Structure 1
Amino acid sequence: MTQAAQQMFDRHRETLDQAVTAITNRSFWTPYPESMRTYPEDAVKAAPSKFESLLNQPFALHATGSTQQVGGEVSPYGFELGITYEQPNPQELIATMQGAIRDWRDAGTEVRVGVCLEILSRLNAISPEIAQAVMHTSGQGPMMAFQAGGPHAQDRGLEAVAYAWQAMAQIPATTKWVKPQGKHDPIAMDKRFHIVPRGISLVVACSTFPTWNTYPGLFASLATGNPVIIKPHPGAILPVAMTTRVAQQVLEEAGFDPCLVSLVPDTVDAPLTKALALDPAVKLIDFTGSNAFGDWLIKNATQAQVFAEKAGINTVIIDSVDNLKAITANLAFSLSLYSGQMCTTPQAIYVPRSGIETADGHVSFDDVAAALAKAVQAFLSDNDRACTVLGALQSRETQARIDECRGLGEIVLDSEPRAHTQFSNARIHTPLILKVDAEQKAAYSEERFGPISFVIATENTAHSIELARDVIREKGAITLGGYTTDEVVAEQFEELAMEVATPLSLNLDGGIFVNQSAAFSDFHATGGNPAANASLCNQAFVASRFVVVQSRRHSQSN
């Protein structure tokens, strides 16, 4: 262990111990504050100018072998970034990584974990800068870009490191094995146990959450000894390029080849993901994105273990409520946040066509739908706040999807464009809410990515549960919400959640929302339904990234 690496581990040991405690008791904890006010004021103020200083020029990273410059990012707020990135030759990079893996493996658990913790600490220090990069590639609003792109993403990375540490710490380096033989001398064996990485890890980053969805796989693989190739989405390269640069700097300072974490950007016209995924040296793949490509990876990249988060039909079932205004306000925020471009945003909202009971009396189906539309309108009535919460649509395809979906049901609330006071060309659109009947299953049982949701008229709550069960079993879901004043129905929701392996949020009406999850406490996805085959984060997410190779010999000592 180099002195620098030892210092990194020692510096962050308390944080590591606290993280392990947090994933054990699942209580609130974070070392990375989500309030921008806790970060140095000068760093926060300087972040926009630092972002602007990166525009319209090459972005420097360690690369290996022959390279070419690629780029083409366009901010969803309406301007070209003009940044180019070195694209290394994949085969030369993989050969370099294979040459570096032995030193990284033999460095041991403490070194690898110490390096990962130092990377996360330095990423946290530049959270305001990362927020600018996330905002202008994903389209997230400023506050969400800061929180989800910075400290919350770092939380998820640290969570993965804690699980990796916990899993590896269970394996002793050596042991003396003694088997009694009755009247005969016992058999004694000296055994050694080596933690051996699987191989090259490929992390396929997404465009909407380029850090949040990338850090778990990145740090789970790196901590367990696997070199990592990050393949960013062509529209959101900068946040993961900044991450890669920090990782490379720390690796180099610790005495390792900086290319142990490398960026391989590509373009829409000349994609590289399939070729990388099929390389025999790639043994781990983390993917967030469409069902079609996630299924292709699982079917074709058979030499690798694939951790895939895909699409699902996130669901809310309304049976009865105390305060309709409070629950529609809560749902209005969930539907509006980042224009529904979250893998956790509700799409299917089941309501009995006979209506629901509230503390103020019976409310019809149509009035429930109208109350939800009214809540969204009220929440977005202030245009500046609306633009901040909605953010911008990352892709023009999402903008087109809103138009395509208008004919799928009766419009309760139409989507409308909003003008941003600072960015006149920003793609900003409010939610589209449609009413449909339960029989119109083709409309609401396909993922409609973006600010699009359906209020579905069912025969009764039992029918709502039945439909939700069928749709989620077939298509999957990341989130499930339920509203009821009846404890028997609440238990039915709990049973449904277990049957379809989807986390349940019950009767949310305050400052917690169904599409938010807290690291160290909430398991993001379960790996138990078609929307995702892994959970962020649990032991299974990290423990299969290494194997234990033992050696044994007859003991030479008593």
Structure 2
Amino acid sequence: MSQQAQQMLDRHRETLDQAVEAITTRGFWSPYPENLKKYPEEAVKGAPQRFEALLKQPFSLVKAPAVAGQVGAEVSPYGFELGVTYDQPEQAGLIKAMQAAMPAWRDAGAEARVGVCLEVLARLNAMSPDLAQAVMHTSGQAPMMAFQAGGPHAQDRGLEAVAYAWQAMSRVPATAKWVKPQGKHDPLVLDKRYHIVPRGISLVVSCSTFPTWNTYPGLLASLATGNPVILKPHPGAILPLAMTARVAQEVLEEAGFDPCLVSLVPDSAEAPVAKQLALDPAVKLIDFTGSSAFGDWLIDNARQARVFAEKAGINSVIIDSVDNLKAVAQNLAFTLSLYSGQMCTTTQAIYVPKGGIETAEGPLSFDEVAAALARAVETFLSDNDRACAVLGALQSPATAARIDECRGLGEILLDSEPREHAQFPGARVHTPLLLKVDASQRDAYGEERFGPISFVIATDSTDHSIQLAREVIGEKGAITLGAYTTDDEVAERFETLAIEVAVPLSLNLDGGVFVNQSAAFSDFHATGGNPAANASLSDQTFVTPRFVVVQSRRHGQPE
């Protein structure tokens, strides 16, 4: 191991040990503060100015082999062009350079690779205020969410993947002496060696809404296990991954490795390159977050690669009975409003019996429950400054158009409206659209409607709600399932439903925890057990397919 890599591992060894402990105990833990006050004041206050210094000019990496051209047409959802351009490497030259760099990275060993990954994460954490600016103005996330989800929470997920990789690799000994007794004869003795061997080049195809959070797990899991990584950002959200790639390249070079082990391949909406990259025979691993159509295409066509895909789904909430409807409605109002419903965990389908529900204050009709939900969202967003701080901006104009298209799918309980952002007058800000539909209108609620669009669905009973959720999730998948009941027997049926459709269950949340939030080191994000995702962030199966163990053996002498 290089001296520099050893120093990196030593510097972060305590963090690594604590991360491995955290994925075992599953309690709360994070080494990366989510409170801005924990970061140097200059780093926080100077972030907007440093972001502006990146605009309207080329972005440079440490190394970009064989440049084919420049791309870059990012437009902030808050209403201005970034004007940043990026080198686009020539594919064949890049693949050749990454293949040439792989043997040294492979042979460096797990300790060196993990040390480098830990140093990359530490440096990314230190620049979280800067990353927040880039995430905000590419994804449309509001400032605090861009900082937390784009910075420390994304880094948590990356570290979680490194911890699983380290745990898996460290369980394989470098050598072993095999001695088999032979009775009166001398024992059979073999000296064995075991090698962690990476699969090949890893391609990470990133999304526009969570460019770092959904990228870091695949990036770090592949890098730690010895695989070079191509980062292919969404054309609308290149900057956060360009900043990430530059940090990774700087650390790799300092540790004595080829910087191109992490490379950026940006493209444009007019000339996409993801399919071309995905079909390259050298690409053996693909991480993808995005539409079901492209995720399915990757799985069906990139047969030479192991594809880890997070796709679309119908996240659901079932309401059977509640103690306090006001608290439940307030909790769901935040869930439906946060980042304008552009989270892969946001609830779309809310099942309520048409005969109403029981509460601690007595029975309430379906219409009263639906009205309470609509009123809670409206009240929560009544203060425009608070609304903008929660909603953020719609990343794509297509999402705003989708709101208009969906108005006719049901009876409008709460209409979506544009909001004026005090700091960014051109921001694309829209409040949620809440629709009332009958259970028979599955064409409306049974398809993902990405964005701030949700349905309150009138069912025949809680049994009917469970049946519908089972069918819809079984067909389309889901990443979150919420449920409310005051009946222990019904709660167990919800638990059974969650197991059967392989979706994490959040039961009776009515306080400061929300169904669309996911905590690294404790919550498994997706399960890999339904059509919404074929992998989980993170577990052992997310990491172990990224390497194989190759052994050699020869005659030895007994000790």
The question of a shared fold, defined as TM-score above 0.5 by the shorter chain, is answered with yes
Matches within 5 A, 1:474-493: 474-493=475-494
Amino acid at match of 1:277: A
Residue 91 of structure 1 corresponds to 92
Residue 439 of structure 2 corresponds to 438
Inter-partner Cα distance in structure 2 for 1:274 and 1:125: 34
Q: 1:278: Cα distance to partner?
A: 0.1
Q: Does 1:240 align with 2:236?
A: no
The one-character-per-residue Cα deviations of 1:198-227 (angstroms, maximum 9, x if unpaired) are 000000010000000000000000000000
Amino acid at match of 2:44: V
Q: Does 1:468 align with 2:452?
A: no
Q: 1:557: Cα distance to partner?
A: 4.9
Amino acid at match of 1:231: K
Report the TM-score when normalising by structure 1: 1.00
Matches within 5 A, 1:331-350: 331-350=332-351
Amino acid at match of 1:34: E
SS of 2:519's equivalent in the other structure is coil
The one-character-per-residue Cα deviations of 1:453-474 (angstroms, maximum 9, x if unpaired) are 0000000000000000000000
Amino acid at match of 1:240: L
Inter-partner Cα distance in structure 1 for 2:100 and 2:39: 39
Matches within 5 A, 1:203-282: 203-282=204-283
Q: Does 1:10 align with 2:26?
A: no
SS of 1:93's equivalent in the other structure is helix
The one-character-per-residue Cα deviations of 1:470-522 (angstroms, maximum 9, x if unpaired) are 00000000000000000000000000000000000000001000000000000
Residue 167 of structure 1 corresponds to 168
The one-character-per-residue Cα deviations of 1:82-103 (angstroms, maximum 9, x if unpaired) are 0000000011001000000000
Inter-partner Cα distance in structure 2 for 1:505 and 1:220: 28
**Is the CA contact (8 Å cut-off) linking 2:208 and 2:237 kept in structure 1?**
yes
Residue 528 of structure 1 corresponds to 529
The one-character-per-residue Cα deviations of 1:377-407 (angstroms, maximum 9, x if unpaired) are 1100110010010000000110000000000
Residue 122 of structure 1 corresponds to 123
Residue 146 of structure 1 corresponds to 147
Residue 500 of structure 2 corresponds to 499
Residue 544 of structure 2 corresponds to 543
Matches within 5 A, 1:372-451: 372-451=373-452
Amino acid at match of 1:108: G
Inter-partner Cα distance in structure 1 for 2:272 and 2:349: 33
**Is the CA contact (8 Å cut-off) linking 2:179 and 2:558 kept in structure 1?**
no
Matches within 5 A, 1:177-196: 177-196=178-197
Inter-partner Cα distance in structure 1 for 2:557 and 2:266: 54
Amino acid at match of 1:198: R
SS of 1:532's equivalent in the other structure is coil
Inter-partner Cα distance in structure 1 for 2:550 and 2:43: 46
Q: 1:184: Cα distance to partner?
A: 1.3
Residue 100 of structure 1 corresponds to 101
The one-character-per-residue Cα deviations of 1:315-363 (angstroms, maximum 9, x if unpaired) are 0000000000000000000000000000000000000000000011111
Inter-partner Cα distance in structure 1 for 2:300 and 2:434: 35
Amino acid at match of 2:461: N
Residue 34 of structure 2 corresponds to 34
Amino acid at match of 2:78: Y
Inter-partner Cα distance in structure 2 for 1:41 and 1:509: 35
Amino acid at match of 1:458: T
The one-character-per-residue Cα deviations of 1:12-44 (angstroms, maximum 9, x if unpaired) are 000000000000000000000101111111110
Matches within 5 A, 1:355-370: 355-370=356-371
SS of 2:288's equivalent in the other structure is strand
Matches within 5 A, 1:280-299: 280-299=281-300
**Is the CA contact (8 Å cut-off) linking 2:77 and 2:427 kept in structure 1?**
yes
Inter-partner Cα distance in structure 1 for 2:48 and 2:489: 52
Inter-partner Cα distance in structure 2 for 1:42 and 1:51: 14
Q: Does 1:137 align with 2:144?
A: no
Gaps of 5+ in 1: none
Identity %: 78
Amino acid at match of 1:200: I
Inter-partner Cα distance in structure 2 for 1:66 and 1:333: 45
Matches within 5 A, 1:40-79: 40-61=40-61, 62-79=63-80
Aligned length: 558
**Is the CA contact (8 Å cut-off) linking 2:345 and 2:480 kept in structure 1?**
yes
Report the TM-score when normalising by structure 2: 0.99
The one-character-per-residue Cα deviations of 1:417-473 (angstroms, maximum 9, x if unpaired) are 000011111100000000000000110000000000000000000000000000000
Amino acid at match of 2:385: D
Amino acid at match of 1:539: Q
Inter-partner Cα distance in structure 2 for 1:182 and 1:529: 53
SS of 1:202's equivalent in the other structure is strand
Q: 1:3: Cα distance to partner?
A: 1.1
Q: Does 1:455 align with 2:453?
A: no
Q: Does 1:300 align with 2:301?
A: yes
SS of 1:31's equivalent in the other structure is coil
Inter-partner Cα distance in structure 1 for 2:383 and 2:38: 27
Inter-partner Cα distance in structure 2 for 1:441 and 1:546: 42
**Is the CA contact (8 Å cut-off) linking 2:67 and 2:87 kept in structure 1?**
no
> What RMSD over aligned residues (CA atoms) do the two structures have, in Å?
0.5
SS of 1:544's equivalent in the other structure is helix
Gaps of 5+ in 2: none
Q: 1:182: Cα distance to partner?
A: 1.4
SS of 2:196's equivalent in the other structure is strand
SS of 2:195's equivalent in the other structure is strand
The one-character-per-residue Cα deviations of 1:236-269 (angstroms, maximum 9, x if unpaired) are 0000000000000000000000000000000001
**Is the CA contact (8 Å cut-off) linking 2:329 and 2:373 kept in structure 1?**
yes
Inter-partner Cα distance in structure 2 for 1:292 and 1:67: 29
SS of 2:430's equivalent in the other structure is coil
Amino acid at match of 2:71: V
Inter-partner Cα distance in structure 1 for 2:182 and 2:539: 41
Amino acid at match of 2:242: A
Residue 20 of structure 1 corresponds to 20
Inter-partner Cα distance in structure 2 for 1:390 and 1:95: 44
Inter-partner Cα distance in structure 2 for 1:523 and 1:18: 18
Amino acid at match of 1:42: E
User: Which runs of structure 1 show a deviation greater than 2 angstroms over 4 or more consecutive aligned residues?
Assistant: none
Inter-partner Cα distance in structure 2 for 1:475 and 1:182: 61
